[in-house]
Amino acid sequence: MKKLYRGISINEKGFTFVELMITMVVVVLVLLGFMGANMRIQQASEAAYQRTVALQDANRVIELMRNAAAAGQFPGNVTAVYPNGGAAAGFANLPGERVVVAYANPGADPLDVTVTVSWAENGIRNVNTALRTYLTQRL
């Protein structure tokens, strides 16, 4: 072994400061990539959850309408409780949620119903989803 300066030999193994800095930069970039991907996955998961809740709320309104169709003079009993273009009350499961009921022909039997749920997805952008069905009086 050749001695170079104060006991440090030429053949000693190790990392230089520049190699360590390059490694640190690469590790930081990889970690930032993982964190960004994790944030996007969480946002997509929250958006999917909110869409599921919106569809459940629309189904709930349709079931309430079917129950209302069981009694009284159909379709007037349903359209009186849920007016055309009116918002259904009691839904605040999502940020800025609004549930609107609309009819193609309010006096028809079967009743062509569209329930639209709108909300602020992730509290940022406004989105909506709609369910359409036909109702008739239950016996």
Mean pLDDT score across all residues of the chain:
89
pLDDT for the residue 9: 60
CA distance 124 to 134: 33
Q: Which tens digits make up the pLDDT trace of 61-92?
A: 999 999 888 887 888 888 988 999 999 999 99
For the chain, the three-class secondary structure string (H helix, E strand, C coil) is: CCEEECCEECCCCCCCHHHHHHHHHHHHHHHHHHHHHHHHHHHHHHHHHHHHHHHHHHHHHHHHHHHHCCCCCCCHHHHHHCCCCEECCCCCCCCCCEEEEEECCCCCCCEEEEEEEEEEECCCEEEEEEEEEEECCCC
Q: Which of 87, 105, 107 has its CA nearest to residue 97?
A: 87
Positions of the chain with pLDDT under 70 = 1-12, 139
pTM: 0.77
- Map out the domains of the chain as residue ranges: 14-135
Q: b/e map of 52-68 (b: 16 or more CB within 10 Å)?
A: ebbeebbebbbeebbeb
